[in-house]
């Protein structure tokens, strides 16, 4: 029912074009994360959906109704702000009740006089029940008489959520709602918001710069960069099947290793400057058809660390980061920096016990799992290896 559809949204602030034609449809009950680095336009897009900014071109429809020119209060949406934007002079109860009061029929909004009306008393009772129920659901029923300043960050967050859900909006918009909480509280709130969404069957558009939030909560992730949608898809598809180099590098922590494959002679190939014999035939062929240069993205878990005498890309262990459940090993690629033929750092995701076997400063070699490599052309576009092979 409450489908949110954006078509061809453009927005500029002065000379800067912030959004360059966004098309997006969010279906009812869907949790969509708008993800991207700061300045990518995700918050602007959210504010345009909310009606706090007007788009230069394009249209927005919510639940099949064109709302492009409507005031925020007429769009039937709720917005949870990064700063919560609770009214400091109102109690928790009045904060939550505010959207209901503002939507009450005109006769109930006349100060003082309306108190005499019987309808008003019934409305007030309904409102009381609604607010108390909603507050109880998120566990802030005990704080209804307090002022926001007397609450902790997590409690304020809950008040903001309750204020958003109490009037059953067509869609929830959330602007980095967890970024002001500490790490422990944040992971708890992630689960709560997700559960809330399931219970209310709510449509949620959630802006974040934190890929963990996007990946763990969203049904679909919209990755924005420089005002353009880079890719839309389920969280895992963005990780496994990025459509360009930006997506590949943005999703995943630590981020994907980029290797430069270059044709060095008749049948010789270098990877980041080192002659490597093991490059498979299909990658060689694609590289040749792209002018002898090909960027390969290899996730840290797809690189093996082998002893110095084995074959592979030569390097030196720069840093060992034991994280408990795994160990990250930073290897600086030998010579790469001097010849400037590619990134000089490769990160390897290894088992926890690698701490005991690997020494910082040791000379090592790296063997990428070529089957898992993602290929990109000079412009950063993804080259589907199978399709490229089939075409050839």
Partner 1 sequence: MTATATIAGAANIRAAAAKREPLIAKPLYLAPAFFVLFVFFLLPAIATIAISFTDWQLGRADFSFVGAENYRALMASDDFQISLVNTLWLNLFVVPLSFAISLALALAIVSVSRGRAFWQTVYFIPVTSNLVAMAVVWDYLLHPELGFAAQLWLSLGLTPVNWLNDRDFVLYTVGFISSWQLIGYYTVLFIAGLSNIPSTLYEAARIDGASSPWDRFWQVTWPMLGPTSLFVLVITVIKSFQMFDVVKVLTEGGPDKASEIILHTLFQEGFIFFRMGVAAAIATIFFAVMLFLTLYQMRLFERFVHYR
What does the binding site for partner 1 look like in residue numbers (CB under 8 A)?
A: 50-52, 71-74, 77-79, 81, 83, 85, 87-90, 98-99, 102-103, 163
Of 163 and 302, nearer to partner 1 (C-beta) is 163
Of 85 and 354, nearer to partner 1 (C-beta) is 85
3-state SS assignment for residue 293: strand
Phi, psi at 255, each rounded to 5° = -75, 165
Residues 346 and 358: their CA atoms lie apart, in Å, by 15
Nearest distance, CB of residue 101 and partner 1, angstroms: 8
Contacts of 359 (CB under 8 A, 6+ apart): 317
Of 163 and 290, nearer to partner 1 (C-beta) is 163
Nearest distance, CB of residue 137 and partner 1, angstroms: 19
Of 81 and 255, nearer to partner 1 (C-beta) is 81
Of 102 and 136, nearer to partner 1 (C-beta) is 102
- Tracing tokens 């009214």 back to the chain, one arrives at 87
DSSP 8-state assignment for residue 361: T
Residues 392 and 390: their CA atoms lie apart, in Å, by 5
Of 43 and 270, nearer to partner 1 (C-beta) is 43
The DSSP bridge partners found for residue 349 are: 328
- Tracing tokens 């290896």 back to the chain, one arrives at 385
Nearest distance, CB of residue 165 and partner 1, angstroms: 12
Of 71 and 182, nearer to partner 1 (C-beta) is 71
With the CA atoms of 200, 206, 212 and 218 taken in that order, what torsion angle do they form, in degrees rounded to the nearest 10? 50
Nearest distance, CB of residue 122 and partner 1, angstroms: 20
Contact 252, 301 (CB under 8 A): no
Of 148 and 235, nearer to partner 1 (C-beta) is 148
Residues 113 and 132: their CA atoms lie apart, in Å, by 25
Q: What CA–CA distances, in Å, run from 132 to 126, 136, 163, 199?
A: 10, 6, 11, 18
Nearest distance, CB of residue 344 and partner 1, angstroms: 44
Complete DSSP assignment for 74-109: GTTEEEE-TT----TTS-HHHHHHHHHHHTS-GGGG
Of 17 and 94, nearer to partner 1 (C-beta) is 94
Phi, psi at 368, each rounded to 5° = -70, 150
Nearest distance, CB of residue 9 and partner 1, angstroms: 19
Residues 126 and 106: their CA atoms lie apart, in Å, by 16
Q: What CA–CA distances, in Å, run from 297 to 105, 120, 305, 309?
A: 59, 64, 17, 25
Of 87 and 107, nearer to partner 1 (C-beta) is 87
Nearest distance, CB of residue 72 and partner 1, angstroms: 4
Contact 316, 363 (CB under 8 A): yes
Nearest distance, CB of residue 141 and partner 1, angstroms: 21
Nearest distance, CB of residue 287 and partner 1, angstroms: 51
Residues 70 and 61: their CA atoms lie apart, in Å, by 10
Nearest distance, CB of residue 205 and partner 1, angstroms: 13
DSSP 8-state assignment for residue 290: T
């Amino acid at each position: 029912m409450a489908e949110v559809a954006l078509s061809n949204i453009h927005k500029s602030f002065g000379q800067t074009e912030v959004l360059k034609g966004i098309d997006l449809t969010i279906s009812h009950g869907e949790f969509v994360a708008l993800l991207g680095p700061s300045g990518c336009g995700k918050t602007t897009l959210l504010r345009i959906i909310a009606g706090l900014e007007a788009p230069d071109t394009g249209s927005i429809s919510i639940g099949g109704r064109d709302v492009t020119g409507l005031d925020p209060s007429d769009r039937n949406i709720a917005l949870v702000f990064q700063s919560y934007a609770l009214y400091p002079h109102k109690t928790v109860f009045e904060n939550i009740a505010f959207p209901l009061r503002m939507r009450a029929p005109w006769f109930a909004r006349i100060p003082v006089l309306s108190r005499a009306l019987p309808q008003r008393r019934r409305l007030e009772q309904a409102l009381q029940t609604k607010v108390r129920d909603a507050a109880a659901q998120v566990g802030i029923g005990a704080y209804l008489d307090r002022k926001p300043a007397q609450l902790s960050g997590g409690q304020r967050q809950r008040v903001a959520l309750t204020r958003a859900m109490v009037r059953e909006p067509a869609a929830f918009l959330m602007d980095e709602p967890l970024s002001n909480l500490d790490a422990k509280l944040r992971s708890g709130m992630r689960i709560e918001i997700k559960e809330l969404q399931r219970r209310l069957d709510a449509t949620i558009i959630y802006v974040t710069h934190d890929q963990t939030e996007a990946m763990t909560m969203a049904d679909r992730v919209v990755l924005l960069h420089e005002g353009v949608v880079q890719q839309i898809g389920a969280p895992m598809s963005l990780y496994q099947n990025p459509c360009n180099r930006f997506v590949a590098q943005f999703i995943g922590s630590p981020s994907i290793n980029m290797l430069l494959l270059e044709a060095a002679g008749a049948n010789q190939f270098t990877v980041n400057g080192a002659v490597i014999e093991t490059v498979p035939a299909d990658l060689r062929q694609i590289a040749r058809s792209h002018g002898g240069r090909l960027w390969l993205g290899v996730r840290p878990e797809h690189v093996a660390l082998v002893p110095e005498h084995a074959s592979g890309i030569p390097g030196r262990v720069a840093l060992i980061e034991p994280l408990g459940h795994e160990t990250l090993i930073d290897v600086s690629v030998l010579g790469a920096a001097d010849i400037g033929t590619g990134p000089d750092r490769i990160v390897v995701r290894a088992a926890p016990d690698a701490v005991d076997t690997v020494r910082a400063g040791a000379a090592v070699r790296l063997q990428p799992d070529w089957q898992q490599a993602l290929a990109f052309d000079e412009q950063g576009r993804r080259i589907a290896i199978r399709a490229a092979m089939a075409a050839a």
